[in-house]
Chain A
């Protein structure tokens, strides 16, 4: 329970006081900050609506004339709300956060290349190296290599799209079978582990594909600058 700094109303931890609307400064997980159940499946439109509704009420703009303590709570509450929205909006970061909440943190900065991507990763590195070397050379050659890299980039995007589809399907499957936080106490732990591992492997694949695209963009950017 937490007491409101503005009206002294005592209540369950939440973002804003149920009585007077002042920011409470309660420690909340990112789902709770948005007042949402801990579910992987999230309707993006509803998420945005909730974010905007709460944002309108907690933003420092609304407390410009208030006491310093409320201004500070509003600032910190808005920062939390924003982080919650950004994290949960993206299915990948939402999946990662959800795993973390349930004690399955994905190894940070996972440098291991997912097995089925290994060959492609080498190809991309070769292409980028070729582009880097050709930078001072003739325009036509650079153009050709750049075209190849662009094509590769598009292919990676298609792979991410496919993986995201797979991911969100898994979300529905997971939520549908288990409901809210129930799974932690579920006896069917073998099935649970399988699903967690599936989720982890898709997430790390997407994370890796995104890193590859970032590498490509960086190389293209510096090629542009050169």
Chain B
């Protein structure tokens, strides 16, 4: 059976990793050598898709011309395209949950539906479809780097505090990318696996995972290869993005709201803010500069000022820590090790506050950007049966219950219960000859149903006509190892299984996904033009694959400048490769051929030289 890969589908960056000789390794891009794939997806109105640095390159932004004029650079081929960042924030969310800021940055349709839909030209994209593009790019990256080894089965990590809908959306993304998601693993737990394997750690470990968009804290007990999560807490909308946002607000202070809402202005401000945030982890003060069409912004920001702005957000992470400790009945002093995960833990203030809170120096010996992907690869090997001694026992982050009479949430499975777990609840009818019983499943910690998040509704039945209270239906709520709910029902009297028709409150239905899959492989009637297009695409694939292989083997024969020029044309070929314009694609493939010809010649030369050398050695021998 094929190997299982580990994927960290992050808010800011995504990675793919696998076990090599008993050690987890991140698989870097064969051309660029980058381990991180920016989770940025460019969607063109004609259906073109770009992922990663190539998407960032065409993100709308402001550009300062040579004469000092500031112009707005937009998506090539029409401003109705979208470059989506942090799509993870939209996973499992309904249209009604969008904030004003979201609507300023992107165009959405169907804002009342159970799933967010991005409008791009005449097309719409749901978050799982956009995430699927990131997964496809990772799959392609690994298959290229591993000489065509197929990536078919994966472990994907999710924030520990993801609810059922967010987890389901992540699984849907895998399915849409043509991947079998063998398991979803919680990010902090994955990180603990990587650390556990690396450091042979034992005892009580707190994993503080502060990423680009989400925050998780998990308290684990590691003992004899068993990684048992005692409690988890977090916030799925608290991360580096939010720190950027306070900096953007500071930067754009005094700028009219209409200007601020402009996508070009906002994106450029975001870049400046993110860069400043990163530099402040090392420097004591930074200069922030942003040229707008009507004004130039320049200000100095000290680390102390930034820390003042960041403090309320960091306080929120510590509040989560306090709750997680309370749920695990431990005090901060009883924790044996604290592990830092996620890019936002590079911020000195975060480290300081974590240190104060737990009363010990946190560990960050593994790269906080890579450790989750490494852990996912470890879990992949556990699932392949090659790490027989390791076992993860994770928990459900949020309580699960049903709405009862009067709109009260009755808890059936409490938060921090070890998964898989199940509970059985009896249901009956309220009036004579009732044919169906409606059940509303909720997730959350609040007392009243409307304050909890609706997870799904289902109908039990059809039931035989009987007096009220006579039918006895036993419903089993089972949360699997992915943290996803499964429901089965049985008639207590007859022992017969009941069908359960579940309607998820948020996210896609199976039918939606089937339809998306059909659309994505719908070739239908192909005319000549389409066949030619396919042939041109095959040509493009061939040259791209060959070039990547050559760069891998003879990378030393190209200098940085040449590499940049090649990468630039490669980007354009890839963009055209996904479009419908055959002539453009053929022209670009030709251009790529031209650009790479000197390189190919040098490879030939060196091969000949090598052959001659070899021959002369043989002659000497």
Binding site for B on A (CB under 8 A): 52, 55-56, 59-62, 64-65, 75-76, 78-80, 82-83, 85-86, 217
Known: A60-B480, A65-B384, A75-B481. Is A52-B226 also a contact (CB below 8 A)? yes
Complex A-B, nearest 8 residue pairs according to Cβ-Cβ distance, in ascending order: A79-B422, A64-B383, A79-B420, A82-B418, A60-B481, A78-B420, A79-B421, A52-B226
**Complex: how many Å from CA A86 to CA B418?**
9
Taking CB atoms, residues of chain B closer than 8 Å to A61 are 183, 382-383, 391-392, 481
Question: A60 contacts which chain B residues (CB < 8 A)?
Answer: 420, 480-481
Given contacts A64-B384, A83-B422, 14 further A-B contacts (CB under 8 A): A52-B226, A56-B226, A59-B391, A60-B420, A61-B392, A64-B183, A64-B383, A65-B384, A65-B385, A76-B420, A76-B422, A76-B478, A78-B481, A79-B478
Given the complex of chains A and B, what is the CA–CA distance between A62 and B384 in angstroms? 8
CB B286 to nearest CB in A, in angstroms, measures 35
A79 to B418, CA, bound (A): 9
A64 near B182 (CB under 8 angstroms)?
yes
Which residues of A have CB within 8 Å of B382?
A: 61
B420:A55 contact, CB within 8 angstroms? no
Given contacts A65-B385, A76-B478, contact A55 B421 (CB under 8 A): no
Nearest chain A CB to B444 CB, angstrom units: 14
User: What residues of B have a CB within 8 angstroms of the CB of A62 in the complex?
Assistant: 385
B414-434 residues at the A interface, CB under 8 angstroms: 417-423
Instruction: Please tell me if B348 contacts chain A, counting CB pairs below 8 Å.
Output: no
B419 contacts across to A, CB distance below 8 A = 82
Q: Is the CB of A52 within 8 A of B420?
A: no
Count chain B residues whose beta carbon lies closer than 8 angstroms to a beta carbon of A. Answer: 25
- B51 → A minimal CB distance (Å): 28
A99 to B323, CA, bound (A): 33
Q: Which of B160-190 contact A (CB under 8 A)?
A: 182-183
Contacts of A52 in B (CB 8 A): 223-224, 226, 391
Q: Does the CB pair B383–A75 fall under 8 Å?
A: no
Whether A56 pairs with B391 at a CB distance below 8 angstroms is yes
CB–CB A83/B421 < 8 A: yes
Chain A, Cβ-Cβ closest to B481: A60
Residues in B whose Cβ lies below 8 Å from that of A82: 393, 417-421
Residues of B within 8 A of A (CB): 1, 182-183, 223-224, 226, 326, 382-385, 391-393, 417-423, 478-481
B376 to chain A, nearest CB (A): 13
User: How many inter-chain contacts with C-beta < 8 Å in the A-B complex?
Assistant: 59
Q: List 12 A-B contacts (CB under 8 A).
A: A52-B391, A60-B481, A64-B182, A64-B385, A65-B1, A76-B422, A78-B481, A79-B479, A82-B419, A82-B421, A86-B418, A217-B326
Given the complex of chains A and B, what is the CA–CA distance between A67 and B420 in angstroms? 18
**Which has the most chain B C-beta neighbours within 10 Å: A75, A80, A86?**
A75
Task: Tell me which residues across on chain A come within 8 A of B226, comparing CB atoms.
Answer: 52, 55-56
CA distance A80 to B182 in the complex (A): 22
Min Cβ gap B224→A in Å is 7
Q: Which of A55, A64, A75 contacts B391 (CB 8 A)?
A: A55
Return chain B residues, CB-CB under 8 Å to A85: 418
Residues of chain B within 8 A of A80, CB atoms compared: 422
In the bound complex, CA of A65 to CA of B386 (Å): 12
Most buried by B among A62, A78, A79, A80: A79
Cα A65 to Cα B3 in complex, Å, equals 11
**How many Å lie between the Cα of A144 and that of B384 in the bound state?**
58
CB distance from A165 to the nearest CB of B (A): 18
Identity of the chain A residue whose Cβ is nearest the Cβ of B379 in the assembled complex: A61
Instruction: Chain A residues near B224: list those with CB within 8 A.
Output: 52
A-chain residues with CB within 8 Å of residue B479 when the two chains form the complex: 79
Nearest CB in chain A to that of B387: its residue: A61
Best-surrounded residue of B182, B326, B480 (most CB of chain A within 10 A): B480
Q: Inside 8 A of A217's CB, which chain B residues have their CB?
A: 326
Highest count of chain A CB atoms <10 Å: which of B182, B226, B420, B421: B420
B420 CB contacts on chain A under 8 angstroms = 60, 75-76, 78-79, 82
Kindly report which residue of chain B lies nearest to residue A82, judged by CB atoms.
Answer: B418
Chain B neighbourhood of A75, CB < 8 A = 420, 478, 480-481
Residue in A closest to B418 when the chains form the complex, CB atoms: A82
Instruction: For the complex, give the distance between the alpha carbons of A80 and B418 in Å.
Output: 11
User: With a CB–CB cut-off of 8 A, which chain B residues contact A83?
Assistant: 421-423
CA distance A82 to B479 in the complex (A): 12
In the complex, A217→B326 CA distance in Å?
10
The answer for the CA separation of A150 and B181 in the assembled complex, in Å, is 47
User: Smallest Cβ distance from A33 to chain B, in angstroms?
Assistant: 12
Name the distance in Å between B417's Cβ and chain A's nearest Cβ: 7
Most buried by B among A61, A75, A85: A61
For residue B385, which residues in chain A have a CB less than 8 angstroms away from its CB? 62, 64-65
- Report Cα–Cα, A56/B422, bound state, in Å: 19
Which residues does chain A contribute within 8 Å of B326, judged by CB atoms? 217
Which residues of the partner chain B approach A56 to less than 8 Å between Cβ atoms?
226, 391
Tell me the minimal C-beta distance from A72 to chain B in angstroms.
Answer: 10
Nearest CB of chain A from residue B392's CB, rounded to whole Å? 7
Q: Name the CB-closest residue of A to B155.
A: A64
Q: Bound complex: CA of A56 vs CA of B11, how far in Å?
A: 33
* Smallest CB gap from B1: residue in A: A65
- Please name the residue on chain B nearest to A80 by beta carbon: B422
Could you tell me the distance between the alpha carbons of A64 and B383 in the complex, rounded to whole angstroms? Answer: 6
- State in angstroms the CA–CA spacing of A60 and B226 once bound together: 14
Cα A72 to Cα B422 in complex, Å, equals: 13
Give the shortest distance, in Å, between A29 (CB) and chain B (any CB).
14
Q: Write the chain B residue with the least CB distance to A64.
A: B383
* C-alpha gap A64/B480 in the complex (Å): 13
**For B418, what are the chain A residues with a Cβ–Cβ distance below 8 Å?**
82, 85-86
Give the docked Cα–Cα distance between A79 and B422 (Å).
6
Q: What is the CA–CA distance of A174 and B223 in the complex, to the nearest angstrom?
A: 33
Q: Are A86 and B478 also in contact (CB < 8 A) when A52-B226, A55-B391, A56-B391 are?
A: no
Q: Which chain A positions have C-beta within 8 A of B384? A: 64-65
CA–CA, A62 to B182, complex, Å?
Answer: 12
Least Cβ–Cβ distance between B578 and chain A, in angstroms: 34
Shortest beta-carbon distance, A219 to chain B, in Å? 13
Measured CB to CB, the nearest residue on chain B to A52 is B226
Chain A residues with CB under 8 Å of B391's CB are 52, 55-56, 59, 61
Smallest CB–CB gap between B382 and chain A, Å?
Answer: 5
What distance in Å separates the Cβ of A100 from its nearest Cβ neighbour in chain B? Answer: 14
